[in-house]
Amino acid sequence: MKPRSINIFLLDGDPNGIRVAQIMMSTIQAIAFRRNKLGEVRKTFPEIERPGVYILIGEDESEPDRQTAYIGESEAVGERLGTHNSNKAGRDSKDFWTDTVVLISKDENLTKSHARYVEACLIRSTGNNPRWMLPNTKMPSGDAGKLPLPDRAAMDEFVDQTKTLVGALGWDLFREMRGRSVDAEPQKLVAEPSHPESLRFFFRGEGFAAEMRLGSSGEFVILAGSKARVRTTSTIPRGTNSTRQTLLESGVLRKEADFLLFASDYIFSSASAAAATVIGASANGRILWKLSDGRTYADWEANQDIGESESEITGEGREV
C-alpha cells in the first residue's frame, strides 16, 4: 500500500448518491451510482459510452451476510449497462444488482483489449475474499486481453488504482481476507512481537485457542493455525453463524479432530466479531482478547491516546 490522495465529487451533494472518485494526478475515474440512476448517469457523463470496466453490486440472497459482484467490460459501458438493466428475464439478467461502479479513463486511449485485461485481473483478484460471491460464469483465460509490455504496465496501474477507488467508495471486494495456507499440522501459537503491527492477542479456553494481530489499517486478523470451537450455543448471533459457515465452505476454516482450524489468516471488522467466530457464541472481544501480560484489548486501546513505548506495547523488557 502507498499513500494516495483521492477526490470524491458528489453530483447532488449526497454521499449516497452519484459519486465520482479520482486519484489525484490520475486519468482513471470511478463513477458510483444506484441502478435506478443509470439513465441520469448516462445523460450526465457521456464518457461512460466509451470502453471501460464495470462492477454490478448487490446482496447474495442465499447468504444474507455475503455480497455479490459481477465484473464486466465493454467497448461502450453505458450501452452494456442499459442491456443488463432492461433484460430482466433474459440471459444477461442481473436481478441482484443494486449498485454500480464504472471504471473509465478520462483520456480516450483505453481500448477493448485494455478493458479485457483489466477485467481479467480484477476477477482474479476477488478469490481471497469469501465475503463476496462472483456470478461470472466464465473465468478469464490466461491470455485475456493480451497486451504489449508497455500497455500491460499501464493497465496494471489501472488495476491497482481501481482497487483503491472501489475501496474508497465503500466496498471491500478487492481486500484480501485470506493469507497463506498452513500444513495439516496446526502451528504452535507463539507471540513474536517486534513492532506495533506485530502486536499479538490471545483467546484460549475449552476447545479453542486463537491468536490475533492488529493489521496496518487497524483491522483484526486471526492468524492461520488458530483453533475455533466446533460447537456453538443456541444464542449464537445469526451473522456469526453465517460467517462460520461461509469460512467452512471457502476452506478458511476446516475440521481438525475436536476443533476448527483456521487454514489461513482472516480479517474481521471488530475484536468481538473475531472472538464470537472463535467461540461460537456471542462475545465481547474487547475484554476476551488478551496480551501475553494479561492486559485486555480494551486496556491496551485505552492507553493508546497517552502513548506507549514499543517495549510496553509488546511486553518486552518485563517479566510476564
pLDDT at residue number 106: 85
Chain length of the chain:
320
Amino acid at 78: G
77 & 162 share domain: yes
Residue 189 lies in a domain: no
Of residues 88 and 202, which shows the higher confidence score? 202
pLDDT at residue number 194: 36
Percent of the chain with pLDDT over 90: 45
How many angstroms separate the CA atoms of 296 and 55, rounded? 41
59 & 106 share domain: yes
Location of C-alpha cell 477507488 = 165
Mean pLDDT highest for which of 1-5, 99-103, 193-197, 271-275? 99-103
Inform me whether the pLDDT recorded for 145 exceeds 80: no
Of residues 148 and 130, which shows the higher confidence score? 148
Inform me whether the pLDDT recorded for 223 exceeds 70: yes
Average of per-residue pLDDT across 289-296: 92
Task: Supply the pTM of this predicted model.
Answer: 0.64
pLDDT at residue number 309: 42
Structural domain boundaries, residue 109: 6-168
Residue 77 lies in a domain: yes
Residue 179 lies in a domain: no
Residue 176 lies in a domain: no
pLDDT at residue number 196: 46
**pLDDT tier for residue 298 given thresholds of 50, 70 and 90:** confident
Residue 148 lies in a domain: yes
Inform me whether the pLDDT recorded for 306 exceeds 70: no
Residue 188 lies in a domain: no
Domain edge (last residue) among 152, 168, 184: 168
205 & 148 share domain: no
10 & 73 share domain: yes
Of residues 311 and 298, which shows the higher confidence score? 298
Amino acid at 198: S
Q: Could you give the C-alpha distances from 270 to 45, 120, 214, 218, 267, in angstroms and in order?
A: 38, 32, 10, 9, 9
150 & 106 share domain: yes
pLDDT at residue number 302: 74
- Could you list the beta-strand ranges (E) of 140-215: 200-205, 208-214
148 & 233 share domain: no
pLDDT at residue number 141: 61
- For the chain, what is the mean pLDDT? 81
Residue 82 lies in a domain: yes
Domain edge (last residue) among 148, 168, 188: 168
**pLDDT tier for residue 59 given thresholds of 50, 70 and 90:** confident
Average of per-residue pLDDT across 146-159: 88
Phi, psi torsion values for 271, nearest 5 degrees: -65, -35
pLDDT at residue number 49: 94
By CB atoms closer than 10 A (0-12, 13-18, 19+), residue 105 is buried
* Domain total in the chain: 2
pLDDT at residue number 310: 41
Inform me whether the pLDDT recorded for 62 exceeds 80: no
144 & 18 share domain: yes
136 & 234 share domain: no
Q: For 167-219, what is each residue's pLDDT tens digit?
A: 999 888 888 765 433 333 333 333 333 334 468 999 999 999 999 998 776 78
Percent of the chain with pLDDT over 70: 79
Q: For 227-278, what is each residue's pLDDT tens digit?
A: 999 999 988 888 888 889 889 988 899 999 899 999 999 988 788 989 999 9
How many angstroms separate the CA atoms of 123 and 72, rounded? 9
150 & 19 share domain: yes
287 & 206 share domain: yes
Inform me whether the pLDDT recorded for 3 exceeds 50: yes
Residue 281 lies in a domain: yes
162 & 249 share domain: no
14 & 141 share domain: yes
